[in-house]
Amino acid sequence: MEIEVVSLKMVREDCIFAHDAISEPTDVVQLWRALHPQEPDREELWLICLDACMRPTKVTMVSRGSLDRAIATPREVFKAAILANAKYIILVHNHPSGIPHPGEDDRWISELIWNAGEILGIPLRDHVIVGDGCYYSATSERKWETPGYPVSEAQESELCAEGEKCADDRG
């Protein structure tokens, strides 16, 4: 029986400019907008790979779904994260409805990836859902033991119910 010898590598498809470090969910939304000048008509789940200083090093689409869901498993997420030598990861996806409220599937995948990241040593720092001028941040909801960003009292008072924060972030 023959055993194949293989190698894995990432292929660079494009390059975008991002600022130095991601320090809050609005930075994730700005990166999403740079990737999507026009909002997709279907859900897309993207992975942002970060270095130890929370600087984005790689981004990749994990899944493109339908109008109301994009399916992903830890395998797809962490395959790219490991190849990118990520210290941390952030998930970001859109809701074509424009309403960033997380559904049951969104919460489930966040918890699944969170748990897998803890085991693999590549922590999930946030899962951001982008809507029409609004976003939802799982970290802002404070469900996880380790917050993804430092949150000031001023930022905390601006958070809406369910972790949503609305702003005109299209700048």
Q: 141: domain CATH number?
A: 3.40.140.10
Specify if 11 maps to a domain. no
Specify if 61 maps to a domain. yes
- Express each pLDDT in 102-160 by its tens digit: 989 999 999 999 999 999 999 999 999 999 989 999 987 765 554 455 444 443 334 33
- Express each pLDDT in 112-128 by its tens digit: 999 999 999 999 999 99
Specify if 6 maps to a domain. no
Of 94, 105, 82, 87, residue with least CA distance to 35: 94
Specify if 41 maps to a domain. yes
pTM score, whole prediction = 0.78
Residue 23 and residue 55: Cα distance in Å, rounded?
A: 9
Alpha helices in the chain (DSSP H): 25-35, 74-83, 104-120, 153-158
Residue 68 and residue 92: Cα distance in Å, rounded?
A: 15
Specify if 16 maps to a domain. no
